[in-house]
C-alpha cells in the first residue's frame, strides 16, 4: 500500500479542518464521506474532490475502497462508529474526546486492539510546534528532572448547547482540558492524585447541565512533580500557555503572545460589518502545522512507516484524569489514583 484511502464520517466543521490537513499529505487520499445530512457530505465532497458520498457509514465500512476512517461526529456518537470500524478492519482516527465515559473509551480501545487496527485520537497539540521540541528536549534531559508544570488553557465559547451536556459533549474537562491532561502525561508521566474545583461562572448552558465553564486543577505525578491547570470557556479568546520547571532549567510556551509571527490588518472603513481579523492577529502554528502533522502521523502509522502515537490507550488515560477531576469538583475531595 502506497496511499491510504480515507473515509470521513461526519461532515461538520472539524471534518473540513481534517480534510484540509489530509489534502496536504500525498500518502492520504480522501476517498469517501458520509453525513446524516447528505447536503453537508456533498458540500465536503465538492470542496475536496472526494469521489464517493455514502448513504450510511455502514456502507462506507463495507467498501473495499476504504482503508481508514476519520470519525468527525459529535462525541456521543463516537463509540459505536469506532467499534464498527474496528470490527470491519478499518484503521480509525477519532476526534477528541474519544467518548463520554471511561467505559466507552475502554471498549473502543479494546475493539482496536482485538482487531489489530490503529486507533489514533485527536490530540493535535502533540504535533504542534513548539510542543514537539519541548518533548524532545525533555527526553534528552536538558532541564533535568521536572519539578512543576502548569498551563492556562483558553477554549472558545461552545457553539452549541450539547457541549455542556454530560450525555452529549461532556463539558470543558473532556472537551477542552483533556488535551492538557494528555500533554502532561506525555511530558511528565502518570498521575497519582488530582484535585479540581470549578463551576458555572458565566454560561447558562453550564448552569443548566451542572457542568463547569471554568476550572482549576492540581495534580501530583508518580515522579514527584507537581502540576496545575486553569481552564476557561469564558475568556473570549483561545490558545494556551505552558511552563515547565526542572532541576536544570525551564521551558516557557505562550501562544497568547506569539505563534510564529503576527499580522496587523487595517480597518476597512467602507465595510458594512467589521472584519473579524482587524487589528493584530497571530500567524497561528496550530491550524497550519498541528493538524497536518497529526494527519501525517495517522497516515504513516497505517502505512507502517512510524509507530502509533496518541493511541486509544493514551486517550483512555486522559479520559480517566478528566473524569476524576470532575469527581473531585463534585465531591470537593482529592482523588487518589
Copy the grid coordinates of residue 90. Answer: 478499518
For residues 266 and 189, state if they share a domain.
Answer: yes
d(CA 188, CA 48): 39
For residues 70 and 118, state if they share a domain.
Answer: yes
The residue among 99, 122, 145 that closes a domain is: 122
For residues 158 and 253, state if they share a domain.
Answer: yes
For residues 223 and 171, state if they share a domain.
Answer: yes
Whether 294 is covered by a domain: the verdict is no
For residues 260 and 178, state if they share a domain.
Answer: yes
For residues 51 and 144, state if they share a domain.
Answer: no
CB-CB contact of 165 with 209 (8 Å): yes
d(CA 199, CA 211): 7
Total number of domains constituting the chain: 2
For residues 109 and 212, state if they share a domain.
Answer: no
Reported confidence tier of residue 95, pLDDT bands at 50, 70, 90: very high
Question: What is the tens place of the pLDDT at every residue in 119-145?
Answer: 999 999 999 888 999 999 999 999 999
Output the pLDDT for position 128. Answer: 87
Q: Among the listed ranges 217-231, 252-266, 271-285, 309-323, which one has the minimum average pLDDT value?
A: 271-285
For residues 205 and 236, state if they share a domain.
Answer: yes
For residues 61 and 118, state if they share a domain.
Answer: yes
Output the pLDDT for position 286. Answer: 64
Taking CA atoms, 312 is separated from 119, 122, 191, in Å, by 6, 10, 18
For residues 101 and 196, state if they share a domain.
Answer: no
The percentage of the chain sitting over the pLDDT mark of 70, rounded to a whole number, equals: 91
Q: Which pTM does this prediction carry?
A: 0.87
Question: What is the tens place of the pLDDT at every residue in 280-334?
Answer: 555 556 666 788 899 999 999 999 999 999 999 999 999 999 999 999 999 999 9
The percentage of the chain sitting over the pLDDT mark of 90, rounded to a whole number, equals: 81
Query: What is the torsion angle, in degrees rounded to the nearest 10, for the CA atoms of residue 35, residue 39, residue 41 and residue 42?
Result: 150
Amino acid at each position: 500500500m502506497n496511499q491510504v484511502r480515507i473515509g470521513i464520517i461526519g461532515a461538520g466543521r472539524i471534518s473540513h479542518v481534517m480534510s484540509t490537513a489530509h489534502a496536504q499529505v500525498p500518502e492520504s487520499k480522501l476517498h469517501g464521506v458520509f453525513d446524516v445530512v447528505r447536503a453537508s457530505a456533498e458540500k465536503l465532497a465538492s470542496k475536496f474532490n472526494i469521489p464517493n458520498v455514502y448513504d450510511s457509514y455502514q456502507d462506507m465500512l463495507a467498501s473495499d475502497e476504504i482503508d481508514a476512517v476519520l470519525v468527525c461526529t459529535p462525541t456521543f456518537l463516537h463509540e459505536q462508529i469506532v467499534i464498527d470500524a474496528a470490527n470491519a478492519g478499518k484503521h480509525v482516527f477519532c476526534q477528541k474526546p474519544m467518548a463520554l465515559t471511561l467505559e466507552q473509551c475502554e471498549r473502543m480501545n479494546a475493539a482496536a486492539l482485538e482487531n489489530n487496527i490503529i486507533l489514533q485520537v485527536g490530540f493535535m497539540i502533540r504535533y504542534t510546534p513548539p510542543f514537539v521540541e519541548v518533548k524532545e528536549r525533555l527526553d534528552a534531559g536538558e532541564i533535568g528532572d521536572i519539578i512543576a508544570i502548569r498551563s492556562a488553557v483558553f477554549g472558545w465559547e461552545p457553539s452549541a448547547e450539547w457541549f455542556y451536556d454530560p450525555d452529549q459533549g461532556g463539558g470543558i474537562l473532556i472537551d477542552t482540558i483533556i488535551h492538557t491532561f494528555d500533554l502532561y502525561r506525555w511530558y511528565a508521566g502518570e498521575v497519582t492524585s488530582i484535585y479540581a474545583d470549578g463551576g458555572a461562572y458565566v454560561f447558562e448552558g453550564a448552569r443548566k447541565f451542572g457542568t463547569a465553564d471554568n476550572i482549576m486543577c492540581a495534580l501530583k505525578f508518580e515522579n514527584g512533580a507537581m502540576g496545575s491547570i486553569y481552564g476557561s470557556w469564558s475568556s473570549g479568546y483561545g490558545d494556551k500557555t505552558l511552563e515547565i520547571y526542572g532541576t536544570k532549567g525551564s521551558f516557557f510556551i505562550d501562544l497568547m503572545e506569539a505563534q510564529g509571527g503576527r499580522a496587523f490588518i487595517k480597518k476597512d472603513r467602507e465595510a458594512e460589518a467589521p472584519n473579524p481579523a482587524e487589528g493584530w492577529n497571530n500567524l497561528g502554528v496550530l491550524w497550519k502545522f498541528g493538524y497536518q502533522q497529526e494527519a501525517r502521523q495517522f497516515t504513516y502509522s497505517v502505512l507502517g512507516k512510524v509507530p502509533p502515537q496518541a493511541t486509544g490507550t493514551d486517550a483512555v488515560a486522559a479520559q480517566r484524569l478528566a473524569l476524576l477531576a470532575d469527581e473531585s469538583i463534585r465531591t470537593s475531595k482529592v482523588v487518589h489514583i
